[in-house]
Amino acid sequence: MFKLAERIRALPPYLFADIDRRKAEAIARGMDVIDLGVGDPVEPTPKHVIERLCEAVRDPANHRYPSYTGSMDFREAVVRWYRRKAGIELDPEAQVLTLIGAKEGLAHLPWAFVDPGDLVLVPDPGYPVYRNATVMTGGTPYPVPLLEEREFLPDISSLPEDVAKKAKLLFLNFPSNPTGAVATREFFREVVEFARRYGLIVVHDAAYSEVTYDGFVHPSFLEVPGALEVGIEVHSLSKTYNMTGWRLGWAAGNEEVLEGLGRVKTNVDSGAFQAVQFAGIAALDGPDEHVERQRAIYQERRDMVVRGLEEVGLKVFRPKAGCYVWCRVPEGYTSEGFVGRLIDEAGVVVTPGVGFGEHGEGYFRVSLTVPTGRLREAVERLKNLKLQGVL
């Protein structure tokens, strides 16, 4: 009866519908399903953050409309965080914008800068919001392949000249979801030069930058000379502080880009809840023990999953950062076919790589955000499938 707008009909089909159906059928059969498909931490938000929220929410001053751009207190906490983590000095008023979670900012940014027909460079495989937000604005996503032979770093120098000239935005995401790849300062310098040459905006999604292993420290895009001239970095409290449901993040960097994003936000939302921003300040300024403890938990899980999947005979890409493990599917399977087989035969749900783009075909993603015992059980089920000759 009602016709959807073209921008919605242009979105790709929901790939995970079949996975959800098979998962529901497995549960209906009485199977104990272990879902390793979603990156949602099971560990609680740090206690001092929760206590600060409770205190702030009792203050009637925080019950009113918040600032569209975020409280100055929260933005100053972001500035202190960058100063401490990366030695970067930012202007909290002009170079930091509060977001209702990183996804919100990433999805709204194309509305500020992309006209119908404009090209947007998106990583493939990559977080689907980059592509989908582009489609919804009438822009054209141009996939930038993340290939195994390049350790899943994009080769931006190989992009056709006509494509680079037409592009408005370049989305980057390091540490990468889904591949777990990490970036170097040298790569970021190359990105800055590329953006200068073609006059495009760089949007670096750094949501996983603090989930690192073996002492590795991931650089910020903004610490590279010239980065503030060409782009922004989007961050979230979700993975660093186990605050996925709290919906709080920020964008930092170029003033013109943030002004454009801010103009979209003033027309479509009313800002992040003030009490949550006070809790965010407690997280950013608080002790690092929680972050270090969470890294240790994820590292234990990473090592167990990598070791177990290698024993099954799968090719695994051991991540230096992020809360996912990226693997090749066995010979003879598509990514969807393999994922479906795992659900039906073992009651284990993983994410097919093709859901992140065509260059994700032939891979699957395992989330490390479930309890360690459940991960161990999932790996044992895969080992049993190998013993039975299924894999």
Tens digits of per-residue pLDDT, 125-180?
Answer: 999 999 999 999 999 999 999 999 999 999 999 999 999 999 999 999 999 999 99
Q: Which tops the pLDDT comparison, 294 or 38? A: 294
Give the gyration radius of the chain's Cα atoms.
21
| pLDDT score recorded for residue 390 | 65
Q: What is the pLDDT of residues 221-246, one digit of tens each?
A: 999 999 999 999 999 999 999 999 99
| pLDDT score recorded for residue 14 | 64
Please give the average per-residue pLDDT across 20-25, as a whole number: 85
Lowest mean pLDDT among 92-106, 233-247, 257-271, 374-388: 374-388
Determine contact, residues 142/119, Cβ cutoff 8 Å.
Answer: yes
Please give the average per-residue pLDDT across 213-228, as a whole number: 97
| pLDDT score recorded for residue 346 | 93
| pLDDT score recorded for residue 387 | 65
Q: What is the pLDDT of residues 278-306, one digit of tens each?
A: 999 999 999 999 999 999 999 999 999 99
Domains contained in the chain, CATH given:
6-44+290-387 (3.90.1150.10), 47-285 (3.40.640.10)
Of the chain, the percentage scoring pLDDT greater than 70 comes to 98
Report how far residue 217's alpha carbon sits from residue 229's, in angstroms, rounded to the nearest whole number. Answer: 24
**Tokens 């040459």 sit on residue:** 197
Q: Which residues of 34-58 are buried (b: 16+ CB within 10 A; e: fewer)?
A: bbbbebebeeebbeebeebbeebbe
Determine contact, residues 39/245, Cβ cutoff 8 Å.
Answer: no
Q: What is the pLDDT of residues 330-372, one digit of tens each?
A: 999 999 999 999 999 999 999 999 999 999 999 999 999 999 9
CB-based contacts of 359, cutoff 8 Å, min separation 6: 124, 125, 143, 145, 146, 147
Mean pLDDT, the chain, integer: 95
Report how far residue 206's alpha carbon sits from residue 172's, in angstroms, rounded to the nearest whole number. Answer: 9
